[in-house]
């Protein structure tokens, strides 16, 4: 973990020395989001799993400190033991968000991200669909490494989610969560235009 932070610090310093930007302002638009890809293969148990997700967002600054926007997310997970499929799901998220930014230093911003997502998951093996919503607030930071390119990081969250499987008689589940540790640290990029 220390090597990753050291590498990111060197990368930010190298690009940041050439950047000439004061951050965001009213009327700016941005495209941001995240991407993840993972693969797991345990040769002892013949267990395999893979996942993929992408979540682009577009936002608009309604004032110098407040941005609002929309996002979409798609994810896919598969797993198998030997030749038996144990998981095959596709997830779709549609959402809206608002962010409040403060600029304590040139090219550097701290923000609070308030999001609301509608989500649906389709399990291909059990043929069960699950629908739900997720409302959350999460802290983040943004640093411009070029005029229009920023690295973003978010960590932790306070959220509420409610989901229900499309099965007769199932009442669903509600989750209230508070996560304030760095295990949920995620990095992304933002392009200002």
The per-residue pLDDT string of the chain (193 residues; one tens digit each, 9 = 90 and over) reads 444 444 444 444 444 433 344 578 899 999 998 888 999 998 888 899 999 999 999 999 999 999 999 999 999 999 988 888 888 999 999 999 999 999 878 889 999 999 999 999 999 888 889 999 999 999 999 999 988 999 999 988 999 999 998 888 788 899 999 988 777 788 889 999 8
Q: How far is residue 158's CA from residue 136's CA, in Å, rounded to a whole number?
A: 6
Domain extents for the chain?
A: 2-192
Query: Own/partner pairs for 154-159, CB < 8 Å, 24+ apart?
Result: 154/113, 154/185, 154/186, 154/188, 155/182, 155/184, 155/185, 155/186, 156/180, 156/181, 156/182, 156/184, 157/184, 159/134, 159/135
Residue with tokens 């960590």: 155
Give the domain 2-192 fold: Porin (2.40.160)
pTM: 0.77
């Amino acid at each position: 973990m220390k090597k990753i932070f050291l590498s990111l610090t060197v990368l930010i310093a190298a690009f940041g020395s050439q950047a000439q930007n004061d951050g965001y302002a009213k009327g700016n638009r941005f495209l941001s989001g995240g991407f993840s890809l993972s693969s797991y293969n345990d040769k002892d148990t013949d267990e395999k799993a893979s996942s993929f997700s992408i979540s682009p967002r577009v936002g608009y600054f309604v004032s110098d400190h407040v941005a609002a926007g929309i996002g979409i997310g798609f994810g896919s997970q598969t797993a198998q033991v030997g030749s038996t499929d144990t998981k095959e799901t596709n997830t779709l998220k549609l959402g809206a968000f608002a962010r409040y930014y403060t600029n304590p230093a040139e090219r550097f911003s701290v923000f609070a991200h308030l999001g609301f997502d509608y989500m649906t998951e389709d399990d291909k093996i059990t043929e069960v669909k699950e629908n739900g919503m997720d409302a959350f607030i999460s802290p983040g930071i943004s640093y411009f490494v070029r005029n229009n390119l920023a690295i973003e990081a978010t960590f932790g969250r306070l959220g509420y989610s409610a989901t229900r499987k499309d099965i007769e008689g199932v009442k669903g589940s509600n989750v209230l969560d508070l996560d304030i540790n760095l295990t949920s640290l995620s990095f992304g990029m933002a392009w200002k235009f």
